[in-house]
A and B are shown apart, each in its own frame.
Chain A
Amino acid sequence: MQYIDIDAPGSNQLFIGNEAMARGALEAGIGWASAYPGTPSSEILGSLAEVAKKRGIYVEWSVNEKVAIEAGAAASYAGIRSLVAMKMNGLNVVIDFLSTIVLSGIGKKGLVLMVGDDPAAHSSSNETDSRPVSKWLDIPLVEPGDFQEAKDMIPYLYDISEEFGTICILRSVTRVAHARGNIRLGEIPKVVHKARFEQYFDPAAPMPTPIMCVPSSFRHMFQHMRLDKIREKFETSTYNKYVGPEKPDLLIVTSGSGWLYSQDAVNALKAENRIGILKLGTLWPLPEKLVKSCLSKADKVLFIEETDPFLEGVIMEFAAGFSPESKRNLFYGNHTRHLNSFGELTPDAVIKAITGVLDIPYAPRDADYMKKVEAVPQQYVMDRLLTFCPGCPHRASFWAIKNALAMDGRHGFVTGDIGCYSMALGPAGFFQTRTHQCMGAGAGLANGFGQLHRFGFDQPVVSVVGDSTFYHSIIPGLVNGVHNHSDFTLVILDNGATAMTGFQPHPGTELTAMGEPAAQISMENICRAIGARVEVCDPFDLKSTTRTMLSMIEQKEGARVAIMRRTCELVRQKKEEKPYKMKIDPEKCLGEDCGCNRLCTRVFRCPGLIWDPVAGKTKIDEVICNECGVCADICPEGAITREAVA
């Protein structure tokens, strides 16, 4: 196994962007890293955790992003270079702290926040662009354009952070953070970290205490002065570059993933002599002189950026202030609908934008081939919807929740949350989830629904959350619900890991990020201490879990908690053999007949069960089946059996 701290300066390695950033942090000599997992940012901390002990740094999966960044700031205040990582949703969670640390300033050592955005929301519930936060909250922001930059920008950013005493943000997107490319390694310095919180009351001291935001207006002004100085610094940054002819027909202004896509597109269009590209790495504060000089090269300017038209906005705003004698450009981008401000940026989208501005023909494949493409029957390429893994406890949990709500018959519903179990919006969880927003939202909504009985509301409300989510953002909702007598059931799907993002530990698990024994926080003790009735059940025991759910939703008032506890199948199979050998008796299988109608393959839909339309029977896919045994309990004919494996 290869670790990110491989000691081979100058060598070439194939790293994903997140590993490159983590390597960059090691080369910058960080002593602290904290994060909450979230795709596409998780591997930054994950790869640092693997080498933390060896490298003498502290790495922590924090309970949530806000604690992660506040804890990380403490390290900076005590003189340790500190890294904090999160996905864009986490940024929203930490906005309050960011808005004050820009005023209070950081410690003597740098504090860098790495935010991973997920355009197209491959693994997210939104696709917000984090870059505008820089302008909004006055925080310097950079964006790597390739893998090498993802690494190299980190030491650079720490230098900026320390020189100007401000937190800095590095924004990456899925196609940088999660793509792989060549990295030329640098040296990892030997740093002896020594932490001490110096308490100078002298306002002229490098870090005067108390650390505070008042007088806020004065400090706000001061941050703007800092940004002006940083802008000067950015004017000459090597992360900003122009490539192309001196007088191009079209100037592309781009950053991040758009840099490589733009080059690919220009290359595919064979338009290197007609198109110039200004690639910005330091986005905020905007290096205005550089931008102005590049704008003067061409009449037409096309903005290529992923998600929001951020540069498009700030540069057009900047250009609007040019003197009347200055060159006036024709701007293209999202505002002219040459590019979308949603979904993922792709080379095809860039090609389309360019050919929409310049008249360049482009046909990636010939007409004959296109005919073949169009002739492919749809049933040959049917969609594969996402689903829970074979043996996943969530499928069983939602089966019990579904049946309990249906038996109760009062049109009860599930408010959902963020994790693998988000798939319960669809057939994987039998379409049970009715709301799906951000972490914690389901419990908050349940609090509200649970108070509406005074207005005639009589439907049971079930908030379903994951274990990691519980610690992250559910506890206040439960406190609120118990305190205010809100009427709802909280279901915690406790599979013992932050499964969605790659099995990171959380406060309920045994080990810390660094693999050391953790103090496990019992979720049932928390819930009971809050005053909720708590029941713990095994979702694979469908009968008793359904009974528990019924007794929960039939309880007349108050917030109550059902913990459905079963290890994530992907974790279990690393440690244990398969528990059963599953078999189907074709004689007993009713198939589509009355009395079954393919309950297992049509409704339960575990991928381990295959429908054989010729035989009219269900079969087990022995390669995929994880032999959990649950389908034996749903088969109405007892055709599916499990045999314990000795």
Chain B
Amino acid sequence: MVTKTKGMGELFKEVINKDLCTLCGACIGDCPYTVFYRGKIRMLDLCTREEGHCYGYCPRTRTDLDAINNKLFGVPFTGAEIGTVKDVFMARSRDAKVRSGAQYGGTVTSLLLLALESDLINAAITTNTDEDKLPEASVARSAAGVMAGAGSNYMAYPVLEALNRMPKDSKEKLGIVVTPCQAIALAKMRLDPPTQRASLDNIRLSVGLFCTWALAYDRFYEFLKNNVDLPKVRKFDIPPPPANRFDVYIGKEVKSFPLDEVRKYRMPTCAYCLDMTAEFTDISVGSVEGIEGWNTVIVRTQHGADIIAEAKKKGKLEIKDLPAQSLAHLKEASLIKKARAVQEIVKKTGDKNDLMYIDISHDLKEKLLGHKVGAQGGH
């Protein structure tokens, strides 16, 4: 069950003031007491409710992964490296225009376009990049709007705020693109749906993005502003492997920064995250190690399988098997993220029995604590 026994005061005490906030946005948008401003969730006034959605939905408050997994996939949470999987393959958009604006293969954009086109959804909630290359939430209701949302800038942004702001009586069918932490918040919402908001059944498609860590909006933006001409930036990328560069495409130029320099601006909370592949979505999408211009795609639900089938049928995606070695690397990287998170948490709490927000079985805990994680690598 979702822990709904605490309120906003505790959310700030246990999560936000401890720099554990992931900026998922689950606690803002439908609450007059919290607001997102310049990279931080701020409390305008203290809500005295002893139980609040803000606390209950937060991905960094106690999270019963079994309950979530059961709710979404009908099976318990096993701790498998890349979560509950129906199918894994690599894909890219067949539309060159989509691919050109995309981070990797344009799969997410293609799927959203297809969903809009086939009336599976009426609107897509995504994180866009504004004129100044700052992230912003977008509710796209057209192909052009979806296209504008392509690409990543690696900065965390509370996109769930846009979901929370949907009018209570809205019947609009939604697609939503989320990071793993946002997917957890969304899953927690589904476990205990809010009664005073638009129905979560409106969400017809959730697409997760692979994520190793995100950059802190406020501090990283300062860094970018001081080092590149932001309005001219086309794209940000961390090319794999050995994933040691942060490339900024400015016009026709590429300016590279050592990843170590950029890593300083990581969200501290990402160190405690178990999930690399956005395990609690319909479909998860990321890069393919060693193969540029393609996406790794993990299908997790029937919903997900259906739209992939539709995409195949309509020729929207080019699909290939994922090389076994790539899959193995993905699983290892994902496992390392889990293991490192649990080990970092124990380092922080100083108590093997206190895993902060994570609620997992004893065996899984021991397995992750015992896994060798090596030096801090990856991106």
Interface centre among A590, A593, A595, A596 (most CB of B within 10 A): A595
Closest residue of chain A to B30 (Cβ to Cβ) is A595
Interface string of A605-636 (1 = CB under 8 A from B): 00000000000000000000000000000101
The reply to whether the CB of B48 lies closer than 8 angstroms to some CB of chain A is: yes
Q: Which residues of B contact A602 (CB under 8 A)?
A: 48
Contact of B196 among A403, A430, A590 (CB under 8 A): A590
With A407-B37, A430-B45 in contact, is A599–B32 under 8 Å at CB? yes
* Least Cβ–Cβ distance between A411 and chain B, in angstroms: 11
Closest residue of chain A to B56 (Cβ to Cβ) is A594
* Cβ < 8 Å to A, chain B residues 10-56: 30-33, 35, 37-38, 40, 42-45, 47-49, 51-54
* Cβ < 8 Å to B, chain A residues 581-598: 590, 592-597
* Cβ < 8 Å to B, chain A residues 418-475: 430
The reply to whether the CB of B258 lies closer than 8 angstroms to some CB of chain A is: no
The docked-state distance in angstroms from the alpha carbon of A95 to that of B282 is 78
The reply to whether the CB of B315 lies closer than 8 angstroms to some CB of chain A is: no
Q: Which residues of B contact A636 (CB under 8 A)?
A: 30-32
The docked-state distance in angstroms from the alpha carbon of A225 to that of B31 is 74
Interface string of A383-420 (1 = CB under 8 A from B): 00000000000000000001100111100000000000
Q: Are B49 and A594 in contact (CB under 8 A)?
A: yes
The reply to whether the CB of B241 lies closer than 8 angstroms to some CB of chain A is: no
The reply to whether the CB of B74 lies closer than 8 angstroms to some CB of chain A is: no
* Least Cβ–Cβ distance between B43 and chain A, in angstroms: 6
Closest residue of chain A to B39 (Cβ to Cβ) is A409
The reply to whether the CB of A603 lies closer than 8 angstroms to some CB of chain B is: yes
Interface centre among B32, B48, B49, B197 (most CB of A within 10 A): B32
Q: Are B196 and A402 in contact (CB under 8 A)?
A: no
The docked-state distance in angstroms from the alpha carbon of A593 to that of B47 is 11
Q: Which residues of B contact A596 (CB under 8 A)?
A: 32
Q: Which residues of A contact B35 (CB under 8 A)?
A: 403, 406-407
Closest residue of chain B to A403 (Cβ to Cβ) is B44
The reply to whether the CB of B290 lies closer than 8 angstroms to some CB of chain A is: no
Q: Are B44 and A407 in contact (CB under 8 A)?
A: yes
* Cβ < 8 Å to B, chain A residues 558-607: 590, 592-597, 599, 602-603
Q: Are A407 and B42 in contact (CB under 8 A)?
A: yes
Interface size class of B (residues with CB under 8 A): 20 to 34
Q: Which residues of A contact B196 (CB under 8 A)?
A: 590, 593-595
Q: Which residues of B contact A430 (CB under 8 A)?
A: 45
The reply to whether the CB of B370 lies closer than 8 angstroms to some CB of chain A is: no
The reply to whether the CB of B194 lies closer than 8 angstroms to some CB of chain A is: yes
The docked-state distance in angstroms from the alpha carbon of A537 to that of B42 is 24
Q: Are B52 and A603 in contact (CB under 8 A)?
A: no
With A593-B196, A594-B51, A595-B53 in contact, is A406–B31 under 8 Å at CB? no
Q: Are B40 and A409 in contact (CB under 8 A)?
A: yes
The docked-state distance in angstroms from the alpha carbon of A544 to that of B31 is 20
With A594-B51, A594-B52 in contact, is A634–B44 under 8 Å at CB? no
The docked-state distance in angstroms from the alpha carbon of A574 to that of B181 is 57
* Least Cβ–Cβ distance between B36 and chain A, in angstroms: 9
The docked-state distance in angstroms from the alpha carbon of A256 to that of B42 is 54
Closest residue of chain A to B48 (Cβ to Cβ) is A597
Q: Which residues of A contact B45 (CB under 8 A)?
A: 402, 406, 430, 599, 603
Q: Which residues of A contact B32 (CB under 8 A)?
A: 595-596, 599, 634, 636
The docked-state distance in angstroms from the alpha carbon of A409 to that of B19 is 14
* Least Cβ–Cβ distance between B47 and chain A, in angstroms: 5
The docked-state distance in angstroms from the alpha carbon of A599 to that of B33 is 8
Q: Which residues of A contact B40 (CB under 8 A)?
A: 409
The docked-state distance in angstroms from the alpha carbon of A402 to that of B32 is 13
Q: Are B31 and A409 in contact (CB under 8 A)?
A: no
* Least Cβ–Cβ distance between A617 and chain B, in angstroms: 14
Q: Are B44 and A406 in contact (CB under 8 A)?
A: yes
Q: Which residues of A contact B33 (CB under 8 A)?
A: 597, 599
Q: Are A597 and B49 in contact (CB under 8 A)?
A: yes
Contact of A406 among B42, B52, B54 (CB under 8 A): B42
* Least Cβ–Cβ distance between B35 and chain A, in angstroms: 6
The docked-state distance in angstroms from the alpha carbon of A247 to that of B38 is 80
Q: Which residues of B contact A594 (CB under 8 A)?
A: 31, 49, 51-54, 194, 196
The docked-state distance in angstroms from the alpha carbon of A408 to that of B44 is 10
Q: Are A402 and B53 in contact (CB under 8 A)?
A: no
* Least Cβ–Cβ distance between A414 and chain B, in angstroms: 15
The docked-state distance in angstroms from the alpha carbon of A637 to that of B31 is 10
With A409-B37, A590-B196, A636-B31 in contact, is A597–B47 under 8 Å at CB? yes
* Least Cβ–Cβ distance between A106 and chain B, in angstroms: 56
* Cβ < 8 Å to B, chain A residues 5-53: none
The docked-state distance in angstroms from the alpha carbon of A594 to that of B43 is 15
The docked-state distance in angstroms from the alpha carbon of A406 to that of B12 is 13
Q: Which residues of A contact B51 (CB under 8 A)?
A: 594
* Least Cβ–Cβ distance between B174 and chain A, in angstroms: 19
The docked-state distance in angstroms from the alpha carbon of A617 to that of B48 is 17
* Cβ < 8 Å to A, chain B residues 43-80: 43-45, 47-49, 51-54
The docked-state distance in angstroms from the alpha carbon of A637 to that of B32 is 9
* Least Cβ–Cβ distance between B11 and chain A, in angstroms: 12
The docked-state distance in angstroms from the alpha carbon of A637 to that of B51 is 19
Closest residue of chain A to B35 (Cβ to Cβ) is A407
Q: Are B42 and A595 in contact (CB under 8 A)?
A: no
Q: Which residues of B contact A599 (CB under 8 A)?
A: 32-33, 45
The docked-state distance in angstroms from the alpha carbon of A408 to that of B38 is 8
* Cβ < 8 Å to B, chain A residues 230-280: none
The 8 closest A-B pairs by CB, nearest first: A407-B37, A636-B32, A406-B44, A603-B45, A597-B47, A599-B32, A407-B42, A595-B196
Known pairs A406-B42, A594-B196, A602-B48 / 4 extra A-B pairs, C-beta < 8 Å? A402-B44, A409-B37, A595-B31, A596-B32
Chosen A-B contacts, 21 in total, with CB atoms closer than 8 Å, are A402-B44, A403-B44, A406-B42, A407-B37, A409-B37, A409-B42, A430-B45, A590-B196, A592-B49, A594-B51, A594-B52, A594-B54, A595-B31, A595-B32, A595-B53, A595-B197, A596-B32, A597-B49, A603-B45, A636-B30, A637-B168
Give me the interface of B with A, judged by CB distance under 8 Å: 30-33, 35, 37-38, 40, 42-45, 47-49, 51-54, 168, 194-197
